[in-house]
């Protein structure tokens, strides 16, 4: 029997070592791939790479929800529990999104926004940790493949309402990968402030321990905390970057550079406005200063000042 290509893709993207179990009440074990693929519940993404978005639908109608609701994108893999009708929906991403140190924060924020919105659209369990899913390679489950083509994030985004998550100044809800973004954003702001205060941390290692402790405090406030490995990784990335790039002296230097660039930008805009005012005045000598001010979107005093400055040059 030929396996569906989505099942092949799922198997290809499994981590070489990951967490798995046949019964969650007995805990999970960290297993090599050869053992992992035989478990009923398995880790489906690499630690720092997201190739599948997964959602937990704990209701008897989960098998048909994507067909009955025109606003739900058809999943690539639907894994159904035959005993209660509950299901996991898996959406395969054309290009996995990475969350290791140095990866694009913008791409992860975009993915997290889509993930939070998808959770709302599907009315999926917001507490789903997204570490383990039902294994579609296991005979324990009924597996359906509603869609063969993989998704890119833009296509998934077109199915959901992202408007309220587009302002990057606002934190995402602590749901799914929104937790990763919330942890990172909250932690880095705290670490920057702590480093700029010039507190006498004796070493980078001690600073990292303080950042890690605060990261665990943030994580403890989530309804479904992130795995400790995720917290450690984020704390390491934030503390390393902050320690090496920021200090009280370094921040003052950065601020001076920003102010210098702002002054240069403002001066450049003023010179550009002066050129446009002068050119207009010479090309159309019948225009009054009020007319030129209305055309340029500025006050008559500004027009007068620029014309006077030009005459004194």
What's the domain count of the chain?
A: 3
Q: Check pLDDT > 50 for residue 61.
A: yes
Say if residues 88 and 146 touch (Cβ distance below 8 Å).
no
End-to-end CA distance of the chain: 85
Which residue in 29, 277, 242, 10 sits closest to 137, CA to CA? 10
Residues 139 and 278 in one domain: no
Mean pLDDT lowest among 71-75, 224-228, 262-266:
262-266
pLDDT for 263 equals 64
| Tens-digit pLDDT profile for residues 108-118 | 999 999 999 99
Q: Check pLDDT > 80 for residue 245.
A: no
Name the average pLDDT for the chain.
87
Residues 112 and 257 in one domain: no
**Does any domain span residue 222?**
yes
| Tens-digit pLDDT profile for residues 191-206 | 888 887 766 677 888 8
| Tens-digit pLDDT profile for residues 136-188 | 999 999 999 999 999 999 999 999 988 888 777 788 888 888 898 889 889 98
Confidence of residue 1 (pLDDT cuts 50, 70, 90): very low
pLDDT for 3 equals 62
Residues 146 and 188 in one domain: no
Residues 185 and 216 in one domain: yes
Residues 110 and 51 in one domain: yes
Which residue in 127, 212, 131 sits closest to 174, CA to CA? 127
* Residue-range definition of the domain harbouring residue 94: 5-165
pLDDT for 300 equals 84
Structural domain ending residue among the three candidates 99, 132, 165: 165
Structural domain ending residue among the three candidates 117, 144, 165: 165
Residues 154 and 13 in one domain: yes
Main-chain dihedrals φ then ψ at residue 145, nearest 5 degrees: -125, 80
**Does any domain span residue 15?**
yes
Cα four-point dihedral sign 75, 228, 234, 182: positive
* Predicted structure pTM score: 0.74
Say if residues 39 and 77 touch (Cβ distance below 8 Å).
no
């Amino acid at each position: 029997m030929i396996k569906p290509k989505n099942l092949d893709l799922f198997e290809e993207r499994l981590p070489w070592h990951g967490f798995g179990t046949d019964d969650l009440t007995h805990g999970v074990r960290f297993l090599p791939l050869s053992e992992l693929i035989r478990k009923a519940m398995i880790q489906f993404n690499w630690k720092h790479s997201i190739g599948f978005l997964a959602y937990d639908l704990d209701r008897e109608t989960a098998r048909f929800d994507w067909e009955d609701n025109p606003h739900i994108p058809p999943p690539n893999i639907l894994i159904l529990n035959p005993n209660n009708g509950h299901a996991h929906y898996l959406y395969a991403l054309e290009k996995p999104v990475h969350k290791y140190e140095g990866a694009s924060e913008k791409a992860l924020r975009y993915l997290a926004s889509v993930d939070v919105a998808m959770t709302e659209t599907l009315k999926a369990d917001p507490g789903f940790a997204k570490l383990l899913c039902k294994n579609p390679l296991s005979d324990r489950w009924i597996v359906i493949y509603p869609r063969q083509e993989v998704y890119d994030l833009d296509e998934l985004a077109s199915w959901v309402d992202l408007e309220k998550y587009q302002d990057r100044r606002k934190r995402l809800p602590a749901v799914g990968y929104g937790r990763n973004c919330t942890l990172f954003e909250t932690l880095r702001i705290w670490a920057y402030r702590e480093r700029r205060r010039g507190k006498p941390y004796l070493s980078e290692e001690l600073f990292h321990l303080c950042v890690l402790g605060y990261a665990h405090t943030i994580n403890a406030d989530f309804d479904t905390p992130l795995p400790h490995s995720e917290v450690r990784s984020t704390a390491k990335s934030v503390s390393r970057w902050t320690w090496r790039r920021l200090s009280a002296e370094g921040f003052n230097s950065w601020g001076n550079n920003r102010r210098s660039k702002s002054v240069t930008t403002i001066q450049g805009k003023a010179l550009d406005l002066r050129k446009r005012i002068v050119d207009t005045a010479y090309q159309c000598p019948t225009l009054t200063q009020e007319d030129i001010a209305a055309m340029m979107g500025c006050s008559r005093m500004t027009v007068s000042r620029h014309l006077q400055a030009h005459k004194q040059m």
